């Protein structure tokens, strides 16, 4: 997957741009994204906990399964799977559509990245759940487009996945 990402990425990114330079240049955009997504996922979790979205509540009660299940889910879903999802959705799909830097292919790349991200992150097969993660996937692809730095998208994807595990 990394080899395919590098091939698709060769037409898109300036290899000289480091992670810290990207964070420094786009700090306000990254901070805004972290705050908006963090608040949004917290509000959704709060509404699920108070019965406003009973059809979105899954059976992931860590008190019944124990601490080991929580830590396993945190490492597996929050770190390993989220990085792989970013390689598939943003690293491969978005770069594939962005080979020809036209507006239509860029929009198609953002939408396809959001669709796949939404499908991969659906906890429960429900349209609202899909829509939440579709929007987040489109946002991650847009952040990648703005920063031209895939590491930032990976970091934001891991942040979102960790929030998802913690806020269940």
Q: Mind listing the pLDDT tens digit for each residue in 21-40?
A: 777 788 888 899 899 999 98
Q: Which residue has the higher pLDDT, 54 or 164?
A: 164
Q: What pTM does this model have?
A: 0.78
pLDDT at 42 > cutoff 70: yes
- pLDDT tens digits, 93-152: 777 776 677 788 888 888 999 999 999 888 777 788 889 889 999 999 888 888 878 888
For 105-131, letters b (16+ CB in 10 Å) and e give ebebbbbbbbbbbbeebbbeeeeebbe
Backbone φ, ψ for residue 74 (5° rounding): -65, -45
pLDDT at 9: 60
Do you know the residue count of the chain? 168
pLDDT of 17 over the 80 cut: no
Residues 114 and 111: their CA atoms lie apart, in Å, by 5
Confidence of residue 64 (pLDDT cuts 50, 70, 90): low
- 10 pLDDT band, cuts 50/70/90, is low
Cα 65 from chain centroid (whole Å): 26
Q: Please state, as a whole number, how many other Cβ atoms lie within 10 Å of the Cβ of residue 13.
A: 17
Q: How far apart are CA 122 and CA 118, in angstroms?
A: 6
52 contacts: CB under 8 Å, gap ≥ 6: none
In tens, the pLDDT along 72-98 reads 878 888 888 888 888 888 877 777 776
Predicted local distance difference test score (pLDDT) of residue 35 = 93
Mean pLDDT calculated for residue range 36-45:
88
| Domains of the chain, residue spans | 20-166
């Amino acid at each position: 997957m990394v080899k395919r990402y590098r091939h698709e990425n060769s037409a898109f990114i300036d290899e000289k741009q480091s992670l810290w330079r990207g964070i420094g240049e786009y700090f306000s955009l990254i901070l805004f994204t972290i705050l908006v997504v963090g608040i949004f996922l917290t509000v959704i979790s709060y509404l699920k906990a108070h019965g406003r979205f009973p059809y979105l509540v899954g059976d992931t009660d860590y008190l019944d399964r124990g601490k080991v299940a929580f830590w396993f889910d945190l490492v597996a879903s929050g770190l390993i799977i989220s990085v792989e999802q970013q390689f598939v959705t943003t690293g491969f799909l978005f770069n594939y559509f962005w080979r020809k830097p036209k507006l239509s292919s860029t929009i198609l790349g953002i939408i396809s990245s959001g669709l796949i991200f939404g499908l991969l992150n659906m906890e429960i097969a429900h349209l609202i759940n899909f829509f939440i993660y579709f929007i987040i996937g489109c946002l991650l692809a847009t952040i990648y487009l703005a920063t031209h730095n895939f590491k930032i998208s990976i970091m934001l994807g891991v942040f979102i996945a960790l929030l998802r595990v913690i806020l269940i």
